[in-house]
Structure 1
Amino acid sequence: MKTILAPIDFSPVSDRVVAEAACLARALDGRVVLLNVTAPVIIAADYTAFIESIAEITDLTAKAAAKELAKIEDRLENEFTHAESIQLTGAAVPAIIDQATKLEADYIVIGSHGHTAFFDLLVGSTASGVLKRAPCPVVVVPAPRKTPAKPAKKKKKR
């Protein structure tokens, strides 16, 4: 059975990632492994008084993610697609690569948020990092368009 790893972050592109991963899994008689990686909260200064609040926020975020993963997993199972989910805390790219290796994933289906090159240069791109280090083929699903594409102007015949 083929394994399709689908890292999702519950952004608008996540629905498309799940749909593409499910389609690929059905075509290959495989399974979808949903992966959510929550970035840990980074404390930039001495905020020891807020550590309990930060731990609570991290815990609430993890619980909300677990509920969403369960919903998606149930939906896929109802659509006759084998599915399971994994939830981790850490840096996204290393966690995705590590899980792909551990699961011996046949494919990774990941979303692209469609940021500008300048944004990716400053912040980094998870999809780009995964593409560079993946142990298997990667399918990149583009973010939904914000505005509909304009039809090309037709040239007038002379």
Structure 2
Amino acid sequence: MFRHILVPVDFGPCSLRAVDLACTLVRLSGGRVTLLHVLDADQSPDGPARRLNGLARCSRQPPGCLVVPAPNGVVTAILTAAEHLHADLLMLGAHGHPDPERRALGRVTCGVLLGTRVPVQVAPQGLGPAPHPLQRWRDVGRS
């Protein structure tokens, strides 16, 4: 099982879905989550740090929260963090676009997929909270 999941968060609907799924996964299997926000060039770290701490309440164990600058780009910052933290899994949102129904992977997600040596899970784009992992088996038992 995955012992350490790194979740890059841009606070869009797709990345929030990835946070929810990662927290559900560690709740069921153990392990830990680290939430990562990569700062824009003109962004202060205070606001994102507060928002990450608010998201941290959903995990079985309080996840780590990390806010980093991106002097060499967002993709490089994510890949560097995954390597330094020895992450077993990257949980990504499909894209950072404000429209959650967009059907294409974003630039950052594609860059991470092409550059990583760590397994990657791209969170489904569906709206609402993630279903319980055993729900499909409950549904099969009812039919």
TM band (smaller chain): 0.7 to 0.9
Question: 2-side partners of 1:24 and 1:68: how far apart?
Answer: 21
Aligned pair 1:63/2:46, yes or no?
yes
| The one of 60, 63, 81 aligned to 1:83 | 63
Aligned pair 1:40/2:41, yes or no?
yes
Question: 1-side partners of 2:63 and 2:25: how far apart?
Answer: 12
> What is the percentage of aligned positions where both structures have the same residue?
33
Secondary structure of the 2:12 match is coil
Find the counterpart in structure 1 of residue 122 from structure 2.
Answer: 140
Question: 2-side partners of 1:116 and 1:22: how far apart?
Answer: 24
**Which runs of no fewer than 5 residues in structure 2 stay unpaired?**
96-100, 128-143
Find the counterpart in structure 1 of residue 75 from structure 2.
Answer: 93
TM-score norm. by structure 1 comes to: 0.67
Aligned pair 1:8/2:9, yes or no?
yes
1:87 maps to a residue whose letter is V
Verify the 8 A CA contact 1:12 1:144 in the aligned structure 2: no
1:63-102 Cα deviation digits (max 9, x unpaired)? 11111011111x125xx23411100121211011001101
The higher radius of gyration belongs to: 1
Structure 1 residues 39 and 143: alpha-carbon distance in aligned structure 2, compared to 1, 3 A threshold: farther
TM-score norm. by structure 2 comes to: 0.73
**Which runs of no fewer than 5 residues in structure 1 stay unpaired?**
42-57, 146-158
Q: Which 4+ stretches in 1 moved above 4 angstroms?
A: 114-117
Question: 1-side partners of 2:124 and 2:77: how far apart?
Answer: 21
Give the drift of 1:115. 4.8
